[in-house]
Amino acid sequence: MVMLKSWRQLKFRQRLVFLLLFAVLLPTVALLVTQYYSLLDLRGKTRLAYENSLRQTIQQIDGNLEARISEIGYARLQSFDAATLDSWNGEKVKAQLNEILRGNPEIESVFVLSSESNNLSYTAILSQTSGYREIKSESAPNEAFFKTPDEESITVSFVSVVQSPAASRSAFYFVQSQCEKCPPPDKTTNEKFYIYRPLSDPRDIQRLRFVGISLKQNYVVNELFPEAIRLMEKNDGQNQKGEIVFAAFDENRRLVFSNNTVSNNVVPENLDAFEASATLRQTFSRWTLAASYRDNNIADLATNYFLRNLLLLLLIVGLIAAGILLTLRVASTEVDLAAAKSAFVSNVSHELKTPLSLIRLFAELLETEGVKPEKRGEYLRIISKETGRLTALINNILDFAAIEAGKKEYNFAPHNLTETVAEVLENYSLVLRESGFDLQTDFSEKLPLVSIDRDAVGQAVLNLLNNSAKYSLDEKYITVKVGRGANGTVQIQIGDRGIGIAPGEQKKIFEKFYRSGGASDVHNVKGSGLGLALVKHVAEAHGGSVSVKSQSGKGSIFTIRLPIKDNGSG
């Protein structure tokens, strides 16, 4: 109840501010805060999304590698005729192995095993470097197989094939294994890469048959991997511009491969320096493929994204705030205007009533008999003065109405400005002098003709004179000067030693309905608040301007400037 009462006591403007605060500003702030936190959250998710994207890319490369290896297996091993092994014929086997090795430089060696029983097996190997060798073994195939470290490594890897549960299901196996005893090749690791094609059920150790190839490490690293990456780029449209750097690391976290050949960037030799990494599950199961964005790190990317969004958010909130302020301003101007309009009505009524009652009073006095002749003249002068005031006021209101309706028209013609002003003074100086004003004029400067609407300029001058008289207290002193102004203008200056105008008001007084300081604290003079608005309109319609120089308590000088241009000379 108390709150309601105090709410009613608030001024409209204060209520507006409160309403905006609660209805708009608070939700906006709430929005800002929640959006900020959700952006923070989004930043984390963006990072994850980038990381996931890198990881997916790695998986695609893994898939491409597998597909390529199956292709190689098929292309090189499918043509091997298993029937050759039915009864071991060294010449035929050698010819077939030769067929496979020839013209395929990616193959290091090709080999075959055929065990005919528990204690009879044949093996043959054709290597790019050491040629053909064939062994007949009369012990179990997995015990006595090949003799050299290379051959031993084949045994070891094949045992893993035999033991693999998936062994009986696929046509080709890829095995990556490390040959500890093998002399390390030019690269850092002594990894071996085998593709097998089983020619019998691998689980049947008694009658085991297979043919296989080992791939050169050089080929794997310099061709197979880059090819798988290129395929990913082509299919996926990703990394077209090579923004992602890939690198493979071996079990000991040593760098074995990188695609970073296009840039001078040094590849981090450290797996941890990469943004995402994953073990190649399908193929090179002993290696880890790592990926990073070449020029950006994910944290920066996510932060940039976050900052961009934050900026957008601030922009939106800024716009909302600007909107609120604008609304507040417009509403407050409307309130001012409404207040000014209602004051205008009461002021004008008063302005009309005063001269009317005076006119009526003195007219009635004149009608009474026995009025002395010298009084008659005085009464008539008062009636005439008040009629002049009424006319001026009504002219102002009519002009204002015409301006508001956009129907005000000016009739320009070349005139002598000094004469125009002097004419107004001629009619008005008597009124001023009667009210006790000392009127000083300076019309000495010779001016060219200027194109003006004589009546409108006259009315503007009258308004200014009227104001000077209205807003003067004890010092009744008015000056009127017509002469040249700056920049090819002519000017009319009307000065007084009246109450003056505070600096903060000096612009506003030219607005329609505006009256200084709510009128009452500054002066008690009645008025419509239209006079200066009309002066301004007239001045601007002539391509000129009106300005004021004033000091509170000291007086004011109003200046109307009109351009000379070429208008007056014709």
Q: Select the residue interacting with ligand ADP from 496, 546, 559, 563 (CB under 6 A).
A: 496
Q: Give CA angle at 100 (98, 102), nearest 5°.
A: 65
The SS3 of residue 177 is strand
Residue 459 lies near ligand ADP (rule: CB under 6 A)? no
Residue 527 lies near ligand ADP (rule: CB under 6 A)? yes
Pairing assessment for the beta strands 173-178 and 438-442 based on DSSP bridges: unpaired
CA distance 503 to 549: 9
Shortest distance, position 538 Cβ to ligand ADP, whole Å? 13
Residue nearest to ligand ADP (CB): 527
Which residues are bridge partners to 209 per DSSP?
114
Shortest distance, position 422 Cβ to ligand ADP, whole Å? 20
Shortest distance, position 317 Cβ to ligand ADP, whole Å? 40
Minimum CB distance to ligand ADP smaller for 229 or for 532: 532
CA distance 496 to 556: 6
Rg (CA), the chain: 52
Q: Which helix (H) or strand (E) holds 278?
A: strand 276-279
Q: Select the residue interacting with ligand ADP from 468, 489, 491, 493 (CB under 6 A).
A: 468
Shortest distance, position 495 Cβ to ligand ADP, whole Å? 9
Shortest distance, position 43 Cβ to ligand ADP, whole Å? 58
Q: Select the residue interacting with ligand ADP from 123, 189, 214, 556 (CB under 6 A).
A: 556
**Which span (32-40, 87-95, 113-121, 515-523) binds ligand ADP, by CB under 6 A?**
515-523
Q: Select the residue interacting with ligand ADP from 39, 348, 456, 509 (CB under 6 A).
A: 509
Q: Select the residue interacting with ligand ADP from 454, 515, 542, 561 (CB under 6 A).
A: 515
Minimum CB distance to ligand ADP smaller for 141 or for 527: 527
Instruction: Answer whether 387's CB lies under 8 Å from 519's CB.
Output: no
Minimum CB distance to ligand ADP smaller for 38 or for 552: 552
Q: Select the residue interacting with ligand ADP from 114, 176, 258, 467 (CB under 6 A).
A: 467
Residue 495 lies near ligand ADP (rule: CB under 6 A)? no
Sign of CA dihedral 347, 558, 396, 542: negative
Residue 350 neighbours by CB under 8 Å, 6+ apart: 526
CA distance 497 to 471: 9
- Tell me which residue of 185, 198, 193 sits closest to 213, measured CA to CA: 193
Q: Select the residue interacting with ligand ADP from 97, 499, 562, 564 (CB under 6 A).
A: 499
Residue 530 neighbours by CB under 8 Å, 6+ apart: 344, 396, 397, 400, 512, 513
Residues lying near ligand ADP in the complex (CB under 6 A) are found at 467-468, 471, 496, 498-501, 509, 514-516, 519, 522, 527-533, 556
